[in-house]
A and B are shown apart, each in its own frame.
Chain A
């Protein structure tokens, strides 16, 4: 059973397009995250939701909009894709709050051409 799943695994698209990445966790966790890992392998937090409420919103362009329909799902929508958005996007979840261990999804490799 997959604990944290993401779709799609690979996404290749052109500049200017809008795309979404979906994430689901079946761990019963309250907190979910989106991370971006760029070509230099640095993992940077983008957003965090706790019980469907946004609790962390790092300096991310407003072309990125997270949506949490329920506490088991956290989706990421990206408008007007740019070359610099090419990266691996990881979803993660943890039990309540940001001080607990996190479990990551397999990642979505986004390539913008």
Chain B
């Protein structure tokens, strides 16, 4: 089993719709969690950290479920500019990136 797993997608989402996807991790000692977005041929950019109580940043909501060992990202009111690959990152001292979930927002 991979240490950090993501559904590769693509998730094809109509503009204005909501999309959500998860990232599972295997190490129960994981302490830090992040979501990054990566556009084609660009560097990963931090989207948001994920806190135990869950957190929201505009149209983006991140949740952490320690019992089931996954984090989630929900995007509301999707925009065309949200089309990207979303990478989850889990750290237990060692950093591990997921392979990414591709989201394609269509007009």
A and B are interacting partners: yes
Could you say which of A12-20, A37-45, A60-68, A75-83 contacts chain B? A37-45
Q: In the bound complex, how far is the Cα of B49 from the Cα of A49, in angstroms? A: 22
B48 to chain A, nearest CB (A): 9
A55 to chain B, nearest CB (A): 10
Q: Is the CB of B46 within 8 A of A101?
A: yes
User: Total A-B pairs in contact (CB under 8 Å)?
Assistant: 44
Could you say which of B13-21, B51-59, B65-73, B85-93 contacts chain A? B85-93
Q: Is the CB of A101 within 8 A of B49?
A: yes
Q: Is the CB of B49 within 8 A of A90?
A: no
Question: Does B42 have its Cβ within 8 Å of any Cβ on chain A?
Answer: yes
Q: In the bound complex, how far is the Cα of B97 from the Cα of A105, in angstroms? A: 16
**Residues of chain B in range 14-47 having any CB-CB distance to chain A below 8 Å:** 31-32, 34, 42-46
- Number of A interface residues at 8 Å Cβ cutoff, please give it: 21
Q: Is the CB of A90 within 8 A of B43?
A: yes
Contact A41 B93, CB 8 Å, known A100-B32, A104-B44, A107-B43: no
Q: How many residues of B sit at the interface, in one of the four size bands?
A: 20 to 34
Chain B residues positioned under 8 Å from A101 (CB to CB):
34, 46, 49
Q: Is the CB of B99 within 8 A of A41?
A: yes
Chain A residues positioned under 8 Å from B89 (CB to CB):
102
Closest to B97 in A: A43
B3 to chain A, nearest CB (A): 11
B99 to chain A, nearest CB (A): 5
| 8 closest cross-chain pairs (CB), A and B | A104-B43, A99-B32, A43-B97, A101-B46, A99-B91, A42-B99, A98-B95, A104-B44
Binding site for A on B (CB under 8 A): 31-32, 34, 42-46, 49, 85, 87, 89, 91, 93-97, 99-100
What are 15 A-B contacts defined by CB distance under 8 Å?
A41-B99, A42-B99, A45-B96, A56-B95, A90-B44, A98-B93, A99-B32, A99-B93, A103-B46, A104-B43, A104-B44, A105-B43, A106-B42, A106-B43, A107-B42
